[in-house]
Amino acid sequence: MSSTATSEKSVIRGRFHITGLKRYLLKRIAERLVLLFGILVFNFFVFQVLPTLYHINVAELYVPLSYKGLPRSELVQAIDRQFGLNLPLQERFFVYIESLLTFHLGISMHYDEPVLNLIEQRFPVTALLVIPSLLLSTVLAVVLGLYSISRQGKIGDSIVSFTAIMTYFIPSFWLGEIVLYVFGFYLNIFPTNIAEAITRNGVTLHGFAYWASLLKFLTLPILFLTVVSYGVRNILFRNNGVELMGSNFVNYLRARGISDRKIFYKHVTRNAIIPVFTRVGIDLAFLFAGVVFIEDVFNIPGLGRLLVSAAENLDIPLLEGDFYVISLFAVVILLALDLIYPLIDPRVKYE
């Protein structure tokens, strides 16, 4: 993504005239697709080949030891047949790839529901948790960062930066639990039980009321997630800004007699904010992986917990489907990021 003169150059292939943008796009898409395929193969290896190598039949985990009735081996074989685990590995691989390409992600072994349904149900919850906190924490990071840059090296800057670094290293499962106890149970400000929050008199709410009460329930986790995630963006922004303040172009602008205020807000901020956007993009790309610990602590039925419970139960269809959706989404978002990057940072041109 470096700025070179080659961007103007066009390459002639056959009869088609491929311009720089198209060439760049095609190259990027091809790279990312190869990467995605690699991840899919790796997932297949971890979820299917590895257990087979260690002689684990995952179906065994799904027949309770205390089950009385049909012989155990028959049940295990039936589950094997149902989920195609009795096929040889090479056949399973093609079935796996085919199911991913056609988006028939299969049925979860643990939840006994289509994988796609499960992901669909949980996506809005996680999105409602992650996206507001992404916005809030970015705003917080930028505001605090501006303060830090303008008071670089002074006590205010030290305190703000130190706090940002501290919050970045807070284990969310620890402070989350404390916050939940203090604000949820002790002070009783926020609802602590999602089932109670989204029902009234035992009836599940619908429409606007549902979303409003869900948001009310999610307020505490959103705020908490904001606090534990703004740190890295704040530090990125601050360090970049501080570096830019000492750079040659700022000196040049000063020499031209442009006011410090204008230099600060127009030139420095605009440049320093670029890595923050990249970071937000990357965080957004992994939206589907959820925020495992926060969902766990605050008892939110989100994507992160779905994934971890799938992992704990070795729920193969769900794991495969979920990892696929995560990777696909990440690839798409990262690709989109590559595309809009030159809009944010004019120095970068499509190579």
Partner 1 sequence: MNKVIKDLLSRKSFIFSIIIIGFFSILAVAAPALTTYSNPYLPSQQYVAAPYAVPSWATIFPQYKELPPDVSFTFTKYVSSDSSYVTAVNASYIKVVVPPGQTVNVSFPFKWNWSHPYDVVVSFKLLTPSTTSFVVNLYFNGLYAMELCPVPFPVEPAVSISPGKVNSVVFDSKYISPANSPFASELPLSEQPLAAYEFPSYALPKPGTYNVTVSFENTGSSKEVFVMSLPSYSSLGYVYGKLGTDDNGASVFAEFVYGARFDLYLSLLASALIIGIGLFIGLLAGYVGGFTDLSLNALTDFFLLIPGLPLLVVLISIFDVTGTIVNVNKPILILLIISLLSWPGTAKIIRGQTLSLKGRTFVEAAKALGEGNLRILFRHILPNLMGILFAQLAYDVPGVILAESGLDFLGLGITGFPTWGNMLGFATYNVSFINGFAWWWVLPPGIGIVLLSTAFYFFGSAMLDVLSPYKLRGE
Rule CB under 8 A: which residues touch partner 1?
Answer: 31, 34-35, 38-39, 42-43, 46-47, 50-51, 54-56, 61, 162, 165-166, 169-171, 173-175, 177-178, 181, 185, 286, 289, 292-293, 296-297, 307-308, 310-312, 314, 319, 322-323, 326-327, 330-331
Q: Hey, how many other C-beta atoms are within 10 angstroms of the C-beta on 344?
A: 14
Q: Which is nearer to partner 1, 253 or 274 (CB)?
A: 274
Residue 285 and residue 335 in contact, taking contact as beta carbons nearer than 8 Å: no
Q: Which is nearer to partner 1, 39 or 253 (CB)?
A: 39
Give the C-alpha separation, 94 to 321, whole Å: 15
CB of 36 to partner 1, least distance (A): 8
At 200, is the secondary structure helix, strand, or coil?
strand
CB of 307 to partner 1, least distance (A): 4
Q: Phi and psi of 85, rounded to 5°?
A: -85, -5
Q: Which is nearer to partner 1, 32 or 349 (CB)?
A: 32
245: tokens are: 């303040």
At 40, is the secondary structure helix, strand, or coil?
helix
Q: Which is nearer to partner 1, 118 or 198 (CB)?
A: 118
Give the C-alpha separation, 156 to 144, whole Å: 10
Residue 127 and residue 287 in contact, taking contact as beta carbons nearer than 8 Å: yes
Q: Which is nearer to partner 1, 48 or 269 (CB)?
A: 48
CB of 312 to partner 1, least distance (A): 6
Q: Phi and psi of 61, rounded to 5°?
A: -70, -20
Give the C-alpha separation, 7 to 52, whole Å: 49
CB of 206 to partner 1, least distance (A): 32
CB of 286 to partner 1, least distance (A): 7
Beta carbons within 8 Å of 336's beta carbon, 6+ residues apart: 281
Q: Which is nearer to partner 1, 47 or 96 (CB)?
A: 47
Residue 302 and residue 122 in contact, taking contact as beta carbons nearer than 8 Å: yes
CB of 55 to partner 1, least distance (A): 7
